[in-house]
Amino acid sequence: MLTHAERRRGIACGLTSFLGIALFAGAPIAVLLSWDVESTQTRLFTAYTWRILRFTLWQAVLSTTLSIAFAIPVALALARRPHFPGRLWIVRLMALPMGLPVLIGALGLIGIWGRQGIINSLLLKLGLEQPVSIYGLSGILLAHVFFNMPLAARLLLAALERLPAEYWLLSAGLGMKPLSVFRFIEWPAVQRVIPGIAGLIFMLCATSFTLVLVLGGGPAATTLEVAIYQSLRFDFDPPRAIALAFLQIGMTALILLVVITLFPALDDAGATAGRSTRRFDGRTLPALFWDVLVILLATAFLILPLASIVTAGLGANLWSLVTSAAFLRAARTSFAIALAAGLLTILVSLAIVAAREAVADMKRPGRTAKGFSALLGGTSYLVLLVPPVVLGTGWFLMLRPLGDVARFAPALVAAINALMALPFVMRVLAPAIETHRKRTGRLSASLGISGLSRLGRIDLPVLAKPLLTAFSFAMALSLGDLGAVALFGSSDLTTLPWLVYSRLSSYRTNDADGLALILGIICLGLAMLGTAGQREAKHG
Amino acid sequence: MRRIALSIFAAATGLFLSVSAHAQEKTLTVYTYESFVSDWGPGPKVKEAFEKTCACKVDFVGVADGVALLTRLKLEDENTDADIALGLDTNLISEAKATGLFEPHGLDISAVKVPGNYSDDTFIPYDYGHFAVVYDTKVMKNPPRSLKELVDGDPSQKIAIEDPRTSTPGLGLLLWMKSVYGDQAPEAWAKLKNRVLTVTPGWSEAYGLFTKGEVPMVFSYTTSPAYHMVEEKTDRYQAASFSEGHYIQIEVGGMLKGSSDKDLARQFLKFMISPEFQDVIPTTNWMMPAAETSEPLPEAFGKLVQPKKTFLMGSDEIAKNRQAWIDEWLTAMSRN
């Protein structure tokens, strides 16, 4: 129920954002394509390139398998113990790694698992000769499990909690053994969602950048994204960067295709529902012991690195750090970029939503209109296909002839961050606006409320919350991001994560720890603001 | 607050132009590697000493390491702010000259005293040192006595090395291996790889890992133990003397063609080989001075490893092969 003018405006907005995004992502790709391809082709298929590709996929397979393999017992144990003390907090703890900047997480992991960390000193005391290495493949896997196991466990737990309570009554009535309960009730529920979760985690791990950069420790453990970054920043070898960029796009396209066609979409509704079910199984002592052990281990695995960030951070001289010129400058840059990225992504999402709404509102949308609507939906996921490093590389090469790239860098980083946040922001905003329109659209049309007064009186009061949610999430993402800024970072453009990274790599760890704590708190705060709003929006 | 609001607006509309600090009166911008500008490095003292003589401001910009310095200059091309690049080494000078970004200094450099017959019209040496594996005597009872022993030794005794794509010590190790192993270098690297804990982008990172006890060996210089003897009064950290001989590094500085004040840049290069600058080098950069110092070196320098043979490749040969050798290195190091 839109007026003609509104519909036209919606389409125009959508068209503008589509063109904007297409230009922003398309231009660098065109530049990459037009570069001297001759030398590129010969370079693309060196043994080194293949090894990187193989390693990228291999570590992603291992990370996915390990994350899910650990998540299953954790989810089963938590599902079996609805009244476990502090269970709500444990489930909330599992949401934390999602909001934590990857770099900060890596720092916490080094604190616990590094050579001087408590795990290794414990193992050495137990008589182990070789310490666990946080560098190379083992470190990357450890970090990927830290970030993705809780995600998988939460989604699995949600799937288990969706099982009707009658199942448990019935299984108790039938006197089913634990193995049978697993085989006939739990496994079928878990198995349905595993492919979707695996697809998601695989994608996240295959495009992992920051963790590999910090923990990789050499050419043997390098992913495509890091290799692109290195060939530009280390070698200044554009043909190689371009060749790798195309390999990366090809790989992600293939993975996306497989994930989308083979695996069902993830239904994360009720991921935080936390319904309490009565369970009659697992009453034996060994079963209780096992569940408590699993839950405690998982909690320790997650909480120790976080605790190490806090304790190490408090050890730094926080006050002098916060008042230092370097920090203030980086904080100003970071917030300016994050605000710009947040605003931009909200604007673009609103435009896309408006356009899709306009198309949906047409009485008989033509094929073009429908296609356009679908295209817009797909555009928001573009960043999954063309990773930030590739975008950055293209823009870098494009702007270089125009002068000092550092001058354009803040705008570029903000735009790339906005694009990165777009899929998440769309996920929050699109359903909220759709529901809101269904509820109020006809009424306001019949009352003749439109334009600004509708925006102020009807839309904003309801949509303020999801907008804030989306905005704070986008800001958290941008504040914690190292991927986009890594290509451009210099003494002229320093963001908070870049500051942490450069302090970390020059082993001024005290500073890095303090900065990490501050940044971690800011990002977690923003992300929690986001998820808290989301939860209420869901119930409302 | 208004600045922030303005920049948000500008960034959101894609017109963000950073308010770059306008060039102040007489500022000399020196690009160098990170350890040079750190608080304990030569940077602060050099800055102070030169500013006294020039009525100008010295602005140091630190990058990870010497090779990264060259890469950064290539990236920035003619738009670079740098007046001086300090911290390339002789291995890189052909490649650096090929960029066309540097200008011959036109100075008399007879004061320079470094091993070999050094002469170049563009780059001036400011210090030198022999590369070496430095080890922790508390952990390593039997350090390697040759490059071959390092390669073939116990893989559980790790070493931290630098990346030749960013760091001059990293490149030095690559060339040392090439000098000793020749065509067999890839196989040797594939073997050495098992002893490598991590490959860092610069010398500071690797040395930081070493002093923190994360790794018992690090690729550094024969002069590094002098630091621990002088500053920490300990001979716990020692350089291993290798029977094949040691690769030498001669660090150089040069002026950029695009420098806004070439006289000032030239004045800095002249200062670089004067006793004031050279006095600072041994006990802050922990390298051998490249010209006269006003006082003799600390006693600790007499206890250092004296290489029997010195390797140094011609920089033209390196310029021709660097990319191929680095590819070779990447391939060998990524072998699983």
- Quick check: is B211 in a domain? yes
CB B55 within 8 A of CB B25: no
Average pLDDT on B46-68 reads 88
User: Which of B57, B47, B49, B55 is CA-nearest to residue B23?
Assistant: B57
Question: Residues of B247-261 as b/e, b for ≥16 C-beta within 10 angstroms?
Answer: bbbbbbbbbbebbeb
How many domains in chain B?
2
- Quick check: is A421 in a domain? yes
User: Which of A526, A522, A528 is CA-nearest to residue A331?
Assistant: A522
Give the best residue of B1, B75, B101, B154 to mutate against chain A (max A CB count within 10 A): B75
Q: Based on the domain organization, do B88 and B202 belong to the same domain?
A: no
CA gap B9, A411 in Å, rounded: 10
Residues 107-126 (A) with a CB less than 8 A from some CB of B: 114-116
Residue that has been written with the tokens 């919606």 in this structure:
A10
Nearest chain A Cα distance for residue B27, angstroms: 16
Pairwise CB contact (< 8 Å): B209 & A507: yes
CA gap A37, A40 in Å, rounded: 5
CA gap A474, B111 in Å, rounded: 59
Q: Based on the domain organization, do B230 and B149 belong to the same domain?
A: yes
A409: contact with B, CB 8 A cutoff: yes
User: Which of B237, B207, B219, B221 is CA-nearest to residue B135?
Assistant: B237
Q: Based on the domain organization, do B122 and B134 belong to the same domain?
A: no
Which among B12, B64, B331 is the nearest to A340, CB-wise? B12
Q: Which domain holds residue A421?
A: 1-34+316-534
A505: contact with B, CB 8 A cutoff: yes
Residues 68-107 (B) with a CB less than 8 A from some CB of A: 68, 71, 74-77, 79
pLDDT value at residue A120: 83
B265: contact with A, CB 8 A cutoff: no
CB B110 within 8 A of CB B132: no
CATH number of the domain at B297, please: 3.40.190.10
ipTM value of the model? 0.70
Nearest chain A Cα distance for residue B291, angstroms: 30
- Quick check: is B47 in a domain? yes
Pairwise CB contact (< 8 Å): A48 & B330: yes
User: Which of A393, A7, A405 is CA-nearest to residue A235?
Assistant: A393
Residue pLDDT tens, chain A, 540 long: 577 787 888 888 888 888 888 888 888 888 877 776 555 445 566 788 888 899 999 999 999 999 999 999 999 999 998 888 988 889 888 888 877 888 888 888 888 888 778 888 888 888 776 677 788 888 999 999 999 999 999 989 988 988 888 888 888 888 888 888 899 999 999 988 898 888 889 988 988 888 888 788 778 888 888 888 888 777 777 778 888 888 888 888 888 888 777 665 555 544 444 455 678 787 788 889 999 999 999 999 999 999 988 988 888 888 888 888 888 989 999 999 999 999 999 999 999 888 888 888 777 777 888 888 878 877 777 777 787 888 887 888 788 777 667 778 889 999 999 998 888 888 888 888 888 888 888 888 888 887 778 778 888 888 888 898 889 888 988 998 887 887 776 666 788 888 887 776 555 567 788 888 998 898 888 877 766 644 444 443
CATH number of the domain at A495, please: 1.10.3720.10
Nearest chain B Cα distance for residue A393, angstroms: 12
Q: Nearest-CA residue of chain A relative to B190?
A: A220
Which among A219, A233, A404 is the nearest to B79, CB-wise? A404
Contacts of A331 in chain B (CB under 8 A): none
Q: Based on the domain organization, do B288 and B150 belong to the same domain?
A: no
Q: Based on the domain organization, do B181 and B141 belong to the same domain?
A: yes
Q: What are phi and psi of A361, to 5 degrees?
A: -80, -15
How far CA A540 is from CA of A4, A458, A462, A466, in Å, comes to 31, 16, 10, 11
What DSSP state is assigned to residue A363? S
The number of beta carbons lying within 10 Å of the beta carbon of residue A84 is 15
- Quick check: is B57 in a domain? yes
CA gap A267, A114 in Å, rounded: 37
- Quick check: is A329 in a domain? yes
Which residues are CB-contacts of A360 (< 8 A; sequence separation ≥ 6)? A373
Average pLDDT on B181-198 reads 93
- Quick check: is A433 in a domain? yes
- Quick check: is B276 in a domain? yes
Nearest chain B Cα distance for residue A344, angstroms: 6
- Quick check: is A203 in a domain? no
pLDDT value at residue B14: 40
The number of beta carbons lying within 10 Å of the beta carbon of residue A301 is 17
Residues 305-324 (B) with a CB less than 8 A from some CB of A: 323
User: Which of A113, A138, A334, A167 is CA-nearest to residue B11?
Assistant: A334
Q: Based on the domain organization, do B263 and B202 belong to the same domain?
A: no
Specify the higher pLDDT residue, B250 or A175.
Answer: B250
Contacts of B71 in chain A (CB under 8 A): 233-236
CA gap B85, B73 in Å, rounded: 9
How many domains in chain A?
1
CA gap B124, B278 in Å, rounded: 13
Pairwise CB contact (< 8 Å): A506 & B205: yes
Q: Based on the domain organization, do B210 and B288 belong to the same domain?
A: no
pLDDT value at residue B17: 37
Q: Based on the domain organization, do B177 and B241 belong to the same domain?
A: yes
- Quick check: is A124 in a domain? no
Nearest chain A Cα distance for residue B166, angstroms: 6
Which among A236, A335, A505 is the nearest to B75, CB-wise? A236
B112-140 pLDDT per residue, tens? 999 887 888 999 999 999 999 999 999 89
Compute the residue count for chain A.
540
End-to-end C-alpha distance for chain A, whole angstroms: 24
Contacts of B205 in chain A (CB under 8 A): 505-507
pLDDT value at residue B184: 94
CA gap A375, A379 in Å, rounded: 6
Pairwise CB contact (< 8 Å): B17 & A407: yes
Q: Based on the domain organization, do B95 and B56 belong to the same domain?
A: yes
Q: How many CA atoms lie within 13 A of A75 on its CB side?
A: 29
CA gap B58, B47 in Å, rounded: 6
Residues 209-238 (B) with a CB less than 8 A from some CB of A: 209, 212-215
A401: contact with B, CB 8 A cutoff: no
What is the residue type of B20? Answer: S
What DSSP state is assigned to residue A458? I
User: Which of B213, B201, B140 is CA-nearest to residue B171?
Assistant: B201
Q: Based on the domain organization, do B76 and B154 belong to the same domain?
A: no
B8: contact with A, CB 8 A cutoff: yes
Q: Based on the domain organization, do B264 and B208 belong to the same domain?
A: no
A233: contact with B, CB 8 A cutoff: yes
Q: Taking the alpha carbons of B44, B46, B51, B52 in that order, is the dihedral positive or negative? A: positive
Q: Which domain holds residue B277?
A: 26-128+250-303
Residue that has been written with the tokens 């020059």 in this structure:
A506
What DSSP state is assigned to residue B238? E
